[in-house]
Amino acid sequence: MPEEAPPQCISSTDLIKRVGNYMNDRDVEKVNQAYLLAYEAHDGVIRKSGEAYIFHPIAVAYTLADLHMDVDTICAALLHDVIEDTDFTKKDISDRFGDVVADLVDGVTKLSGGRFNTRDEAAAASFHKMMAAMTHDYRVVLIKLADRLHNVKTLGVRSPDSRRRIAKETLDIHVPLARRMGMNTLRKELQLNAFKHLHPWRAARLEKAMQTLVNDNASEHQEIIQSIKDALTDNHLEGEVFGWEKNLYKLYKRIKKGKSHKQINKFTESLELRVLVNNSIDCYAALGIVHQLFYPKVGSFKDFIATPKGYGFQALQTALVTPQRQLIFVQIQSHEMFQIAQYGITAANRYPELLKSSGKSQMYLNRWLQQVEEIQSITGTAAEFLEDMKADLFLSEIYVSTPRGEVKVLPKGATPVDFAYAIHTEVGDKCVSALIDGEPARLNAKLANGATVLILTDQEAAPTPNWLNFTVTAKARSSIRSWIKKRKSHEFIELGEKILEKALLSLNSSLDKIPEKNIDETLKALNQENRDALFTSIANGNQSAKLVAQRLIDDNELAALDQQDKKDQLLLIKGTEGLAVNLQTCCYPIPSDSIVAHTNKQTGLEVHRDNCPSLARTGHSLQKDIFTIAWVDDTNKGSHFLAALNLSVRNKVGVLSNITDLLEKMNINIEDINISGDKDMKDMYFLIQVKDGTHLRAVAESLSNQSHVLDVSRVLDDKNQ
């Protein structure tokens, strides 16, 4: 809470007076010089509200001055739009105010230029840049949050679409970012203002309803507060008790999800109270006192002192019910915990005497900054980074522990894979299964609050793209993506080399026979950095292997080759090579099928059965697009492949059970079943795992012999094929 209410329209005099309360004369003069430069830079510029632009940076700086931020932060706040919107450069700022101020301003400055196709793409890039700067100096984000706060407070002059877009972005990015920084006072201001612009009618209705509730029950609420104060005094416990304004946006979200009554009255909405005492021991003593005073609601108690939230929040929380059926939500904290919860890393600036020995907020912030830096180092694009960070910012925490008792704070909905990556990247990469509270669990299982999880690993294991469908933490998702990209890059190189060797073999040559001089000349002519780049380019279809092969061979040798020597060679595959060779689900090719393939820039070699209709539909039926490929002789050793069967059956009781029982006896794993048809006849689709074509034919024959099974055919096959 601010020490004093800011003026309605903040002037430079107000700002100088504010910083003068805690800065020395030299620093105050530096702030004044920053104001003069900002005034010069923005002179003549008018905001959409009609006021001079300079009032915006003054307001941003004043918000940070209220947090007692240092002189460099205040100067950077005043100058935060100078690089982006005026002719002044980063060097100009550095020369006059030092590198620290210049770096802070640059960190807040959005990326500009014609490099982005969409507004979302530009926003993601700017967010990525800001977070990168934040890992070096967290004050960048504080300036950005203060900037957004003033912007969202003055949204009324914008168009409805613009208001909704900015308000939604604020709720999606800036509110959870403020929360993750532990800046709850700033978070609540951002949240309420954004809510009022995103849903003005709903916000007004809720605000009016809550005000009516407070007014109608003021005397009863005051009696409750006084009774708690008296109980603390009677037990010789020093403390403060006061009401707390309910978060309207959270109330709106609860009502929208059906988790709160739409009618707002004393029986449906709790009275929120704060109890502040001197230390953590007194917190537990106060908890006992209020539990003796009113009836505790079963299952409502939470201890965030023993297990703080991921951003350092500490409190005891409990719900109570009075004899008059008034629900009370009580949060108990020490004075230090309360100030840290409101102001996060800046609490020590505002209350140096109270918090002079406290480094808790800095410790939690440093942990998070380290994690952000790690995620940045392995994330590919700005859009992916933004997506991953959103997952981490929207924390509804659960607490999960290792068998040794080490607690990990994870978002609600986290899985054993998220937990494994929270322990260590290598544990995540090698995890194969988990035990949750001693019971075997799948890797995509949702972890419950308080669970104990043991991760089982295998050195031969590796992440799969499917993990991205259920992991939620930024650490897990960015690590999985990084592994896939590295693996994919390696496999594309191997595939490209294999395709080029095939092309050279058709010319009675090989890479080993090609002079190094020819390779260097070819790389230069094709603008390829090295061999790996050339192989990758061939694998993703950007270079023709046949043309590259002909370029590599001397003209004389090429001319000497008889036409009969120039024979196409089969490209042999196992079908289990990994991410660069993909058996297509439109036709499910298996060993012994006649197969063809074409290259795809994203997925590598796409393998089809040669009669697959999708080839013609996508324009790959032309011979120039098709690779001649075949299965290696030992493909089916230990491997299984997906195959699809269509069954026509009579709609009789037990027919499905008979089919699945038969497949179980044949040790056939069923991946998917789909049933359609009418009351007399049913068409059943089975996706199963088989070794090869011979194995599939044996399965189909056994199914054909079942009673009520009229026909069995492979998907895409003609009848009786």
CATH number for position 58? 1.10.3210.10
Of the candidates 62, 332, 63, 56, which has an alpha carbon nearest to the alpha carbon of residue 186?
A: 63
Which range has highest mean pLDDT (3-7, 368-372, 474-478, 502-506)? 474-478
In the structure encoding, which two tokens stand for residue 387, read together? 């997506």
Q: Is 110 a domain residue? A: yes
- Of 406, 437, 460, the residue that ends a domain is 460
Assess whether 156 and 219 both reside in one domain: no
Identify the sign of the CA torsion 36, 37, 39, 43: positive
Across the chain, mean pLDDT equals 83
Q: What pLDDT does residue 561 have?
A: 53
Q: What's the pLDDT tens digit per position in 618-672?
A: 655 454 556 778 887 765 566 789 999 999 999 988 899 999 999 999 999 998 8
- Of 197, 215, 239, the residue that ends a domain is 197
Give the alpha-carbon dihedral of 664, 669, 674, 678, to 10 degrees. Answer: -20
Of the candidates 310, 283, 467, which has an alpha carbon nearest to the alpha carbon of residue 400?
A: 310
Assess whether 55 and 89 both reside in one domain: yes
Number of residues written out for the chain: 721
- List 712's β-bridge partners, or say none: 647
Assess whether 417 and 319 both reside in one domain: no
Catalytic residue at 85? yes
**Angstrom distance (rounded) from CA 409 to CA 700:** 50
Structural domains counted in the chain: 5
Instruction: CATH number of the domain at 400, please.
Output: 3.10.20.30
Q: Is 617 a domain residue? A: no
Identify the sign of the CA torsion 108, 112, 118, 122: negative
Q: Is 587 a domain residue? A: no
Q: Is 377 a domain residue? A: no
Instruction: CATH number of the domain at 650, please.
Output: 3.30.70.260
Instruction: CATH number of the domain at 287, please.
Output: 3.30.460.10
**Angstrom distance (rounded) from CA 132 to CA 4:** 34
Identify the sign of the CA torsion 611, 617, 621, 626: negative
Q: Is 527 a domain residue? A: yes
Assess whether 347 and 419 both reside in one domain: no
Q: What's the pLDDT tens digit per position in 171-198?
A: 888 888 888 888 889 999 999 999 999 9
Inter-residue contact 698 to 596 (CB < 8 Å): no
Catalytic residue among 84, 169, 374, 683: 84
Assess whether 437 and 483 both reside in one domain: no
Angle in degrees, CA 358, 361, 363, rounded to 5:
95
**Angstrom distance (rounded) from CA 656 to CA 659:** 5
pTM: 0.65
Assess whether 174 and 246 both reside in one domain: no
**Does residue 559 register a pLDDT over 80?**
no
Q: Is 20 a domain residue? A: yes
Q: Is 26 a domain residue? A: yes
Assess whether 175 and 214 both reside in one domain: no
**Angstrom distance (rounded) from CA 260 to CA 146:** 32
Q: Which of 127-141, 314-328, 456-470 is least confident?
A: 127-141
Separation of first and last alpha carbons in the chain: 78
Which range has highest mean pLDDT (69-83, 146-160, 455-469)? 69-83
- Of 529, 549, 568, the residue that ends a domain is 568
Residue 6's pLDDT band, with cuts at 50, 70 and 90, is low
Q: What pLDDT does residue 366 have?
A: 72
Q: What's the pLDDT tens digit per position in 369-393?
A: 777 777 666 666 777 677 767 666 6
Assess whether 191 and 265 both reside in one domain: no
Assess whether 235 and 330 both reside in one domain: yes
Q: What pLDDT does residue 606 have?
A: 85
Assess whether 420 and 307 both reside in one domain: no
Q: What is the mean pLDDT of the segment spanning 194-209?
A: 91
Q: Which of 319-333, 507-521, 591-605 is least confident?
A: 591-605
Q: What pLDDT does residue 377 have?
A: 67
Domain span at residue 113? 12-197
Catalytic residue among 27, 70, 85, 610: 85
- List 318's β-bridge partners, or say none: 330
Assess whether 184 and 214 both reside in one domain: no
**Does residue 124 register a pLDDT over 80?**
no
The single residue listed with the structure tokens 């393998």 is 607
Q: Is 605 a domain residue? A: no
Catalytic residue at 84? yes
In the structure encoding, which two tokens stand for residue 396, read together? 């509804």
Assess whether 178 and 211 both reside in one domain: no
